[in-house]
Structure 1
Amino acid sequence: MDDLIVGTPLWILAIVLFVALMAAMEAGRWLRRRLARNPDGEAAEHDYIFNGVLGLLALLIAFTFGLALDRYDARRELVVDEANAIGTAEMRVRLLDSQDGPRLAGLLRTYADTRLRYGEASAAAKPPLRAASQALRARIESETITALRPIATTPLAAMITPAVNEALDIGVTREATHASRIPTMVLGVLAVYALISAGVLGSALDAAGRRGRGMSTLLFLLLTLAITVILDLDRPQEGAIRISQQPLRDLVAGFVSTPRPSVETPQPSPATPALPAAGGSSRP
Structure 2
Amino acid sequence: MPETFLYNINAEYIVLVLMLGMFGLFYLGRQLHKHNKTEIQDMGPLTSFLFALLGLMLAFTFGMSGSRFDTRRGLVVQAANNMHAAILRADLYKDDSVRVAFKADLKDYVQARINWFDAKRSPAQVLEATRETKRLGDKLWHRAAVLARDPANMVASQQMIPALNAMIDVAISREAATKAIVPEPVLYLLFIMTLVTSLMAGYATSIQKKFNYVAVIGFIVLVGCVIMIILDLDRPRRGLITNVAVNQFIRNLLELF
Distance, in Å, in 1 between the alignment partners of 2:173 and 2:80 is: 13
Q: Secondary structure at the match of 2:28?
A: helix
RMSD: 2.2
Partner of 2:177: 177
Partner of 2:253: 251
- Offset of 1:206 from its aligned partner? 5.0
Contact 1:46 1:207 in 2 (8 A): no
- Offset of 1:39 from its aligned partner? 2.6
Distance, in Å, in 2 between the alignment partners of 1:151 and 1:30 is: 85
Partner of 1:96: 93
Q: Secondary structure at the match of 2:145?
A: helix
Is 1:200 aligned with 2:200?
yes
Partner of 1:270: none
Is 1:151 aligned with 2:151?
yes
Higher helix share: 2
Contact 1:205 1:212 in 2 (8 A): no
Contact 1:94 1:102 in 2 (8 A): no
Larger Rg: 1
- Offset of 1:92 from its aligned partner? 1.0
- Offset of 1:139 from its aligned partner? 2.2
Measured against aligned partners, the alpha-carbon deviations of 1:145-202 in whole angstroms (never above 9, x if no partner) come to 2232333982322111101111111111111112111111111111111111111111
Contact 1:91 1:105 in 2 (8 A): no
Matches within 5 A, 1:1-284: 3-33=4-34, 36=36, 38-39=38-39, 42=41, 45-98=42-95, 99-124=97-122, 125-151=125-151, 154-206=154-206, 209-243=209-243, 244=245, 245-252=247-254, 254-255=255-256, 258=257
Letter in structure 1 aligned against 2:10: P
**Identity in percent:** 24
Q: Secondary structure at the match of 1:76?
A: helix
Distance, in Å, in 1 between the alignment partners of 2:23 and 2:135 is: 50
Distance, in Å, in 2 between the alignment partners of 1:134 and 1:192 is: 42
Distance, in Å, in 2 between the alignment partners of 1:241 and 1:150 is: 48
- Offset of 1:207 from its aligned partner? 5.2
| Alignment CA distance shift 1:23-1:130 (3 Å) | farther
Which structure 1 residue ranges, 5 or more long, are not aligned?
Answer: 259-284
Question: Given the two structures, how large is their TM-score scaled by the length of structure 2?
Answer: 0.88
Question: Given the two structures, how large is their TM-score scaled by the length of structure 1?
Answer: 0.80
Distance, in Å, in 1 between the alignment partners of 2:37 and 2:182 is: 42
Distance, in Å, in 2 between the alignment partners of 1:152 and 1:54 is: 70
Q: Secondary structure at the match of 2:205?
A: helix
Distance, in Å, in 2 between the alignment partners of 1:77 and 1:250 is: 17
Contact 2:23 2:217 in 1 (8 A): yes
Q: Secondary structure at the match of 1:239?
A: coil
